[in-house]
């Protein structure tokens, strides 16, 4: 257990409103990731961070932005939420690049955009 928390755990919002999801870790892991899980798609990478202020896009980054101002926090922002962004969002962390490569996942945030 890598000590990963996500907040909020559940959120219902309306189309066009901004939404920020927070991931907090206590393990001092270098890498952090945001995924979304949708039926029929598995887990898809939205954005990831390889250090403070260092981020890059994943495969489904359109409509999302991220920020990492300190090691322990990774924020995911939906600038103007759309119904297609209704999903379960998972944060994950990894200590470093190594031959092991295990990512640790948070409990998830269920977001509904009406």
Q: Which residues bind another protein (CB under 8 A)?
A: 4, 31, 35, 40-45, 48, 50, 56, 58, 90, 92, 97, 99-108
CB 74, min distance to another protein, A: 14
Judge contact between 112 and 86, C-beta under 8 A: yes
**Helices and strands (H, E) in the chain, number of each type:** 0, 11
- Nearer to another protein by Cβ, of 14 and 56: the residue is 56
Pinpoint the alpha helices (H) of the chain: none
Smallest gap from residue 2 Cβ to another protein (A): 10
The smaller minimum CB distance to another protein, of residues 5 and 80, is found at 5
Q: Cα(59)–Cα(33) distance, rounded to whole angstroms?
A: 12
Tell whether the torsion through CA atoms of 100, 107, 57 and 85 is positive or negative. positive
Quick one: 15 or 26, whose CB is closer to another protein?
26
Name the minimum Å distance from CB 43 to another protein: 4
């Amino acid at each position: 257990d890598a000590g990963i928390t996500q907040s909020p755990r559940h959120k219902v919002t309306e189309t066009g409103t901004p939404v920020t999801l927070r991931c907090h870790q206590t393990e001092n892991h270098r890498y952090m990731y945001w995924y979304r899980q949708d039926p029929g798609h598995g887990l898809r990478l939205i954005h990831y961070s390889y250090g403070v202020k260092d981020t890059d896009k994943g495969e489904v980054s359109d409509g999302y932005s991220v920020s990492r101002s300190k090691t322990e926090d990774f924020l995911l922002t939906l600038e103007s939420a759309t119904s297609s962004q209704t999903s379960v969002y998972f944060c994950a962390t990894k200590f470093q690049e190594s031959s092991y490569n295990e990512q640790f996942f948070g409990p998830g945030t269920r977001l509904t955009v009406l």
